[in-house]
Amino acid sequence: MTGGVLIVESSPSSDRDTPAYHDWYQNTHIPEMLQIPGFVSARRLESLDGDTFLVIYEIEGDLEKAKAALGEAQSSGRLSRPEGVRLDPPPKVRYLRQLGG
């Protein structure tokens, strides 16, 4: 398989939690994610209205293996709990497979 991306759309739980949200994503969550086999880079984006954020994780190799490795990391407790992230509704999560070559 040629890999793909994991896209997660989320937002802070409140204006007060915005600094904790960004700190957790940048300094805790992304470094943890990049330790999972298959996850090789992360890029964060902000909506123009500033209340929704995306992170795009680049995945190399077998997408299903990377997805399974992430599931194992989550279930084993190796990933920290989200800080300042709105959980109701939960973040939107999508895996996209690369087409071609």
* Residue-range domains of the chain with CATH: 4-97 (3.30.70.100)
Instruction: Give the pTM.
Output: 0.92
Average pLDDT over residues 26-49: 97
In this structure, are residues 74 and 39 in contact, taking their beta carbons and an 8 Å threshold? no
Q: What is the pLDDT of residues 56-100, one digit of tens each?
A: 999 999 999 999 999 999 999 999 999 999 999 999 999 999 887
